[in-house]
Copies of this chain bind each other. A is one copy, B any other.
Amino acid sequence: MSIQKYKECIEACNICAVYCDNCATSCLQEPNLENMAECVRLDIQCAQICRLAVAFMAQGSEYAQDICQLCADICQKCGDECGQHEAEHCQECAQACHRCASLCASMVA
């Protein structure tokens, strides 16, 4: 069953999407928002691809690997951007993104 097979990757994607949504909202309340624009932009995309990756894995889709490959790339880029900011929501998000990137990459391998 796909949801057993992909359990760890599904959980990492779900957690990553939640931290990205939270990071985007929190960035939009930061006083130095102009420095956060790229972070918000990537958070939005990262949350979206993570949720699609979960759906495709849970559905046992033959395209799950293709989505997870792309998800790994986007998570890596988003995590790298978030990691440059000191705000706690950015640091937490960076960690969730990098973990998700790693698990998606392993899933594809």
Q: Give the dominant DSSP class at A's interface.
A: helix
- Distance in Å: Cβ of A29 to nearest Cβ of chain B: 7
Flag if A45 contacts B61 (CB, 8 Å).
Answer: yes
Flag if A3 contacts B19 (CB, 8 Å).
Answer: yes
Q: How many copies does the complex hold?
A: 4
Flag if A2 contacts B25 (CB, 8 Å).
Answer: yes
Flag if B33 contacts A18 (CB, 8 Å).
Answer: no
Instruction: Say yes or no for A8: interface residue by CB 8 A criterion.
Output: no
- Distance in Å: Cβ of A44 to nearest Cβ of chain B: 6
Known pairs A3-B19, A17-B55, A66-B73 / 8 extra A-B pairs, C-beta < 8 Å: A1-B89, A10-B18, A28-B40, A29-B37, A33-B33, A40-B40, A47-B58, A52-B52
